[in-house]
Amino acid sequence: MEGAEISIRRAATLLRDRQVSSVELVHAALSEIERLDDQLNAFLCVYRDHALAAAERCDLEIDRGVWRGPLHGIPYAAKDLIDVAGERTTCHSRICIDNIARRDAAVITRLREAGAVLVGKTALHEFATGGPSFDLPWPPARNPWNPTMHPGGSSSGSAVAVAAGLVPFALGTDTAGSVRHPASVCGVVGMKPTFGAISVEGCFPLSFSLDHVGPLTRDARDNALVLASLLEPEAARRMQCRPECAEPFADSEAGLSGLRVGYVDAFHRASDVNTDIAAATDAAVELLRSHGAKVKTLELSPLRVFTECGRTILQAESFAIHAETLRERHADYGTRGRRRLMSGALISAERYVRAQQIRTHLVREFLSAMRGIDVAVCASSLELPCAIDDEAAIEATYDRQARTPFNVLGVPAISVPIALSSNGLPIGLQIAAKPYAESLVYRAAVGLETAVGRAFRPSVRSSVRTMEWTS
């Protein structure tokens, strides 16, 4: 039994051939959670009995020849702002500690239909904002590469669970980079699809016009499998995606030769970027070029324009969502989350409308710049993770990134691990494309993983994850 480190693709083959059972896979996941999660705090709750019962049903179906697809019988986790019928959706906040969901979120329904087995809900930043906090009912998740360091956010628990080998995949949400941030600093793959391609129904909102749901996995091929099962039917049609296939996106294995790449190097060169990140990003782009990609510089508006636009929209919309509760239960929020949410009270209608107008201009600019280009690439973070209890550094981290532009634009963007920093922490590269061009994003991501010729192979020493490069 290969345990919780098994890939989705390998597990699907073994399940279909009856060489392993879903019950065994779920037991392996539950055992790893029990062994490691006291040190990592990735999970807020674990559905042990329900998960094992669901796994038994999967095994019976497969025994009868009923095969739902590559996620059938695969264990996973979901960020705890995603509703599961009859279970608590806490949003990692005292405010929602007794909130019981009446129905499944749309993404949970899709994964049930695909046969995936939910083993638990994962930690996040309070209401997906703020950063790691120590004044909430549950502790924050910790980076599995070094538990004293920040794991990124807000989908921190989901990324930690995947990086630590507790589950093969997990769901997160991404409003200003909240899937790609923890993916980048935990050494996993995190995808934010085209806006609206995955339903956010049943997910507690942070920003109505910026929120996305996306999968976190240990490699790009697995990520494509999960995304395919989450897509709305119209989105799948526009992407020419075949969810039932082992390779749902036709172009994903086409390789890098001839791929037209736009390098947005100004996003990090205009900033005081960490030298390890700058070097790793440049090296990854050179690797794309050396394997046949046609690389050119892609010029967009300065990063600060995207950052300010996205921040204004997010703050205004998140305050609108929380305004009444902030008035009635102000003291029940954590300090960091309350401060972040209250900042939206200062956003005028004029400023919000102006941000939306700038957003329209940025979308037009991006689509024009992408003519004749398949994918855009750029750095993800501009700083390495800081200590999890360094409040000033945490605050600075959230604007020291290049992920927000792709939420403002509403286009697909993925973070793929490319290197380790000098202090042994993962570094991610972002790959983006035009709306509904997820197949090109996966083509570049899979091609980059193949070109590197090495894989992130985490192994456990106590709670700390280490990297082993294998040719």
**What residues are annotated to the active site?**
79, 154, 178
Cβ-Cβ contacts under 8 Å for 368 (sequence gap 6 or more): none
Q: b/e per residue, 270-305, with b = 16+ CB within 10 A?
A: ebebbebbbebbeebbebbeebebbbeebebbebeb
Name the strand (E) or helix (H) holding 341.
helix 335-342
Name the strand (E) or helix (H) holding 214.
strand 212-217
Of 456, 451, 460, the residue nearest 468 (C-alpha): 456
Query: CA quadruple 241, 291, 382, 124: dihedral positive or negative?
Result: positive
What whole-number distance in Å separates Cα of residue 182 and Cα of residue 376?
A: 20
- Return the number of other C-beta atoms located less than 10 Å from residue 470's C-beta: 8
Residue 338 token pair: 């309350």
What whole-number distance in Å separates Cα of residue 187 and Cα of residue 425?
A: 8
What whole-number distance in Å separates Cα of residue 114 and Cα of residue 404?
A: 31
Of 354, 357, 314, 413, the residue nearest 365 (C-alpha): 357
